Amino acid sequence: MPLFSVIVAVQTRWFNEAMIRIYMVMVLLLLQACSEPKTPSSYVQAELEAWVHYGSDAERQMIQQQVARFNEQQDAVRINAVILPPGVYHQQIADAAKNGRLPDILELDPAYVGYHVWQGHLQAIDKLLTDSIRMDMPSSLLRQNMVRGRLYAVSPTHRAMVLYGHRSLLEQDRLDLAGLMSERWPGAKFTGLIDTQARDMVQSSGSAAVMELDVSGDGQWLVTALLSRMMAGDDDQTAFVDKLNTPASRHLLEQVQAWFVRGVVDKRDGDAFLQGQVALALASQAEYQSYKQKWRDDLFSLPLWASGVSAGTSWGLSRDCRDKRIAMRFIEFLLGGKEASMMADATGMLPSRRSALMGRSALLDEGTTVFDRPMLEDGPLPPLSSPAYPALRNRFAGLIKDITGGMDEPEAVRLAMKDMTIIKGQYEQSMN
């Protein structure tokens, strides 16, 4: 064989063997790369920011724990919760929107959902919320977070008005629990019970005080109940002012004021119902645990669902949300039965989903049938979708304090309507 041919054959064989070695090394490297574990703790594909302004320490601690639990269950996804002061929170949102720095997720007071929608800070989520959760939530609570037929937020919890009573201080044949449960507050059966008990108390002790009715602070639950009765779900801000002076609204305000003037409402310092000084208390469900611990089997509690309920903290997506899919996954995590129940315990409220609420029948008397009918569905609603609602509601709360404090009712209403008309005009001008 010629020398040239021998050289070519040797080089070809060497080249082939070298290529085979290179291919083998590449395959080994690929197999090793596939077998090496990932580093999920340091590799984050999506990181979203949520703004929160819970007031109490218990609420803040709970949302921090919930965020941590959500993050632990995710692969390469993280939610960062930023807790801001409650006093200027909604102004901070407005300022952030002007500067193009809105977070992805916003926790809001339900009263401000409509305001932020009209300001363009929120985006609709009705097409993002899963059907299973939507069907598990009372429509009245969903509607409190709707504006012009679109859903912009959801609330894991809600509050309800509850009538508490001492069985030993009330004659059982006068308690029509089914009737009280079905009528809107303060209906004929409720006022009849109050009047009867007041007459009995005057005859036995000379005092007509039979009920505790807390109007301290912002009186949120009482204000919501009265507004719900007056507005009947009308979210027009003109109607908000006009309906304040209707015969039905005036009668309602006169009735509430009469209870204070006649001494039906206990005005002594301290917790009159907890101390056994009055037979009835009209308060939120947040009082249930302390009342039950004190009075045990002598306590009856009756949620007045027909008088309307108020949605708790609402969660929505900002207009600048970077990943709607992940953000909704977090919000629906908060709506889960276990998480909603834990937040309800921390806030003293009730979970909003029926499946979670069904496990909390301890708030009800044994034998009552409130769970045998659609719950919360037909309750009246305040005009939450109006951008003027927060300011109008604050002025209405001032009106309630005025009439329960003894101010002449017609004069108090006249002044409130004057102020509300100005507020309405300012918002109408700002929205044009």
- Choice between 16 and 222, residue whose per-residue pLDDT is larger: 222
* Span of 153-162, 303-312, 356-365 with lowest mean pLDDT: 356-365
Query: Using one digit for the tens of pLDDT, what is the confidence trace for 155-192?
Result: 999 887 888 888 887 765 567 777 777 777 788 888 88
- Choice between 234 and 393, residue whose per-residue pLDDT is larger: 393
pLDDT at position 331 over 90: yes
* Span of 18-22, 63-67, 209-213, 404-408 with lowest mean pLDDT: 18-22
The DSSP code for 265 is B
Most confident of 103-117, 217-231, 345-359: 103-117
Domains, the chain, ranges and CATH? Answer: 46-156+312-364 (3.40.190.10), 160-309+388-431 (3.40.190.10)
pLDDT at position 327 over 50: yes
- Choice between 26 and 122, residue whose per-residue pLDDT is larger: 122
* Span of 81-85, 144-148, 347-351, 401-405 with lowest mean pLDDT: 347-351
What is the arithmetic mean of pLDDT over 69-85?
Answer: 93
Average of per-residue pLDDT values in the chain: 79
125 three-state secondary structure: coil
Strand partners, 146: 151
Cα 339 to Cα 361: distance, rounded to the nearest angstrom: 18
Ranges of H-type helices in 48-138: 57-72, 89-98, 113-118, 131-135
Q: What percent of the chain has pLDDT over 90?
A: 28
pLDDT at position 134 over 90: yes
> What's residue 424's pLDDT?
82
pLDDT at position 128 over 90: yes
Cα 218 to Cα 220: distance, rounded to the nearest angstrom: 5
The pLDDT-based confidence of 129 (bands split at 50, 70, 90) is: very high
What is the arithmetic mean of pLDDT over 309-326?
Answer: 92
Strands 105-108 and 46-52: parallel
pLDDT at position 38 over 50: no
> What's residue 97's pLDDT?
95
Q: In what order do the strands lie in the sheet with 314-318?
A: 77-83, 46-52, 105-108, 314-318, 122-123
Measure Cα distances from 116 to 65, 146, 287, 395 in Å: 27, 12, 31, 20
> What's residue 35's pLDDT?
45
Query: Using one digit for the tens of pLDDT, what is the confidence trace for 241-288?
Result: 778 888 888 988 998 899 988 899 887 666 889 888 888 988 877 788
Measure Cα distances from 81 to 156, 195, 378 in Å: 17, 50, 35
pLDDT at position 83 over 80: yes
> What's residue 318's pLDDT?
97
pLDDT at position 14 over 80: no
> What's residue 314's pLDDT?
94
Radius of gyration of the chain (CA): 30
The pLDDT-based confidence of 370 (bands split at 50, 70, 90) is: very low
The pLDDT-based confidence of 9 (bands split at 50, 70, 90) is: very low
Angle among Cα 179, 184, 185 to the nearest 5 degrees reads 100
The pLDDT-based confidence of 363 (bands split at 50, 70, 90) is: low
pLDDT at position 21 over 70: no
pLDDT at position 421 over 60: yes
206 three-state secondary structure: coil
> What's residue 266's pLDDT?
87
- Dihedral of CA atoms 359, 156, 309, 357 in degrees, nearest 10, equals -10
The pLDDT-based confidence of 290 (bands split at 50, 70, 90) is: confident
Measure Cα distances from 22 to 29, 33, 36 in Å: 11, 17, 21
Cα 70 to Cα 72: distance, rounded to the nearest angstrom: 5
Q: What percent of the chain has pLDDT over 70?
A: 76
Query: Using one digit for the tens of pLDDT, what is the confidence trace for 338-360?
Result: 999 899 888 878 888 888 876 55
Residues 6+ apart with CB under 8 A from 42: none
pLDDT at position 39 over 50: no
